[in-house]
Amino acid sequence: MENPENPSSTAARPSASSAPAAPSAPSAAPAPALAPLVAPVISLSSPFSGVAGTTVTLTGSGFTGVTAVTFGGMPASSFTVNSSTGITAVAPAGSGTVQIVVTTTGGTSNGVTFSYTVATPVITALTPNQGPVAGGNTVTLTG
């Protein structure tokens, strides 16, 4: 660039590198590494069979972030995550043999077998509690 006061000389143009440096912001700490999401694994269930309403204990690994426990595709009546290795779940209404599956943010577990049993009927009252030897009475069973 030519100096207007002395046409035979040139003025130096300030370079970007000669400008004062802006203060730098403190560097942020590196973000912690995220653990990979892993699907849960059921290694044991107890009991293996029961009626609707049976409390089933599931033992395994990866029970963090549980979003569902299902019995043959039906949601458990309720479930509690006791730890990353243990869950208690209440069997919903169902029949036959089904697979219990745990779903987490990391995926879906293997299935373990649960067999629904038929509840044994219980008679709580018999009316009337006596009648003629010849029979012919109507009897009501309550239970």
> How many domains is the chain partitioned into structurally?
1
Residue 80 lies in a domain: yes
Assigned domain for 1 exists = no
Residue 95 falls within a domain, yes or no? yes
User: What's the pLDDT at 24?
Assistant: 60
Residue type, 137: N
Q: How far apart are CA 51 and CA 112, in angstroms?
A: 16
Write down the pTM of the prediction: 0.65
Domain limits for position 92: 41-116
- pLDDT for the residue 37: 84
3 belongs to a structural domain: no
Supply the CATH number for residue 62's domain.
Answer: 2.60.40.10
Question: CA-to-CA distance for 69 and 78, rounded, in angstroms?
Answer: 8
Amino acid 131: pLDDT: 84
Angstrom CA distances, 57 to 4, 46, 124, stand at: 91, 5, 31
SS3 61: strand
Give the tens place of pLDDT for each residue, 130-143. 888 888 889 898 88
Q: For residue 17, is it within any domain?
A: no
In contact, 80 and 44? CB cutoff 8 Å:
no
Single-letter residue type at 9? S
Residue ranges, the chain, pLDDT below 70: 1-29, 31-35
Residue 2 lies in a domain: no
